[in-house]
Amino acid sequence: MYQRTKDILDKIIELKRKRNAVILAHNYQLPEVQDVADFVGDSLELAKKALNVDADIIVFAGVSFMAEMAAALNPDKIVLHPDPSAGCPLADYATPDIIKKYKEEHPNVPVVLYVNSLAVSKALADYVVTSSSAVSLIKRIGKDEVLFGPDKNLADHVMKMTGIKVIPLPPHGHCPVHQYLIDEYHLIKALEEHPNAKVLVHPEAPPEVRARADFIGSTSQMLKAVKDMNAKEFIMGTEEGLSYRARKLYPEKKVYPLNPRAICIDMKKITPLKILRSLETLKPRVILDKEVSRRVREVIERSLEMLR
């Protein structure tokens, strides 16, 4: 029984070394999880990092689709997800049955899936994109129309940025955190409190919030905007965890969450104690069907190749 959080963190560091393990964490993770991680990033950075991990064990501090992707890219490594109940409700919208139905209705139209999707669904896609790669990859496909899911807001953003017809698959897929908590009311309120701040917004946010943004991009692109933009104050239109990371990286800037209550409870299910238990027991382990894993690897590698 640990009495102090510091003892838990010290034990994690000791076990990581002993087991030759790395901790990969998403930008929305709890501050103490970000601090104990070896690498923190957005979905694209985490996928690229997972491709080149020099360790025997990966502990994935994020939601299930991210841990699944790390497992697909590392079939010979042990991938641990400290809380398998940390899912992503957005990912569940594009089921394999829905993808098959849309494919039948739109033959010859490429299927592009957002990385926030299940491994069994990615296995049916032609390409997989993240919020940072969606616009450039879909342009490079060079078609007049694409099927895209499961996020309707990212689909709308891509359509506006490229002029390409994006058929949302399904029409109503959304992230509850961005759809309902990164809303116009909280944006107005945040701007009243910080009238000189630049507004940075994630593309999963609804159109009326994106329309008022100074910058739209993935979590790591938003962090880069904080660094690069000639401004001192920023309102972060995404899950509140990103503000911690921005403040840590750029302490000279002032960063405010658009809505401090915009919390992804699934991301926050990963705690240092669960990470420690995973390292102690080597459980829960992410196990994917071999064929699904091979297909996901193929689709992700093809997609990353398109971006080179």
Q: Report the interface residues with ligand SF4, using CB under 6 A.
A: 63, 88-90, 116, 175, 177, 204, 239, 264, 266-267
- b (16+ CB within 10 A) / e for 31-47: eebbebbeebbbbbbbb
Comparison of 9 and 24: residue with beta carbon closer to ligand 13P: 24
In the list ligand SF4, ligand 13P, none, the entry touching 89 (Cβ below 5 to 8 angstroms by class) is ligand SF4
Q: CB nearer to ligand 13P: give 276 or 296.
A: 296
Least distance (Å) between residue 89 CB and ligand SF4: 5
Residue number, 68 or 78, with CB nearest to ligand 13P: 68
22 bridge partner residues: 58
Burial of 205 (0-12, 13-18, 19+ CB in 10 A): buried
Which residue lies nearer to ligand 13P by CB, 42 or 183? 42
CB 285 within 8 A of CB 80: yes
Least separation in angstroms between residue 238's CB and ligand SF4 is 8
Q: What DSSP character marks residue 131?
A: T
Is residue 219 near ligand 13P by the rule CB under 6 A?
Answer: yes
CA 223, 229, 231: angle at the middle one, nearest 5?
A: 110
DSSP 8-state secondary structure symbol assigned to residue 285: B
* Residue 199 binding result from ligand 13P, ligand SF4, none, given CB thresholds of 5 to 8 Å by partner type: none
Task: Rule CB under 6 A: say whether 27 interacts with ligand 13P.
Answer: yes
Which residue's CB is nearer to ligand 13P, number 42 or number 271?
Answer: 42
Interior CA angle at 128 toward 268 and 134, to 5°? 85
> Which one among 218, 259, 293, 303 touches ligand 13P, defined by CB under 6 A?
218
Task: For Cα atoms 27, 61, 247, give the angle at the middle one, nearest 5 degrees.
Answer: 25
Report, in Å, the least distance between residue 177 CB and ligand SF4.
4
- Residue from 42, 68, 83, 266 touching ligand 13P (CB under 6 A): that is 42
130 counts as binding ligand 13P under rule CB under 6 A = yes
Two structure tokens written together for 82: 């400290």
Helices (DSSP H) in the chain: which residue ranges? 5-19, 31-36, 43-51, 64-73, 96-105, 119-122, 134-141, 152-162, 176, 184-193, 207-210, 219-228, 241-249, 272-281, 290-306
Return the one option of ligand 13P, ligand SF4, none that residue 219 interacts with (CB less than 5 to 8 A, by type).
ligand 13P
Decide: is 259 part of the binding site for ligand 13P (CB under 6 A): no
d(CA 138, CA 98): 21
Helix (H) or strand (E) holding 78: strand 78-80
Contact between 74 and ligand 13P by CB under 6 A: the answer reads: no
Helix (H) or strand (E) holding 79: strand 78-80
Return the one option of ligand 13P, ligand SF4, none that residue 266 interacts with (CB less than 5 to 8 A, by type).
ligand SF4
71 versus 175: smaller Cβ distance to ligand 13P: 175
| Site size with ligand 13P, rule: CB under 6 A | 11
Angle of helix 134-141 versus helix 290-306 axis, rounded to 10: 80
Q: Which is nearer to ligand 13P, 82 or 203 (CB)?
A: 203
Residues that bind ligand 13P (CB under 6 A): 27, 42-43, 116, 130-131, 175, 202, 204, 218-219
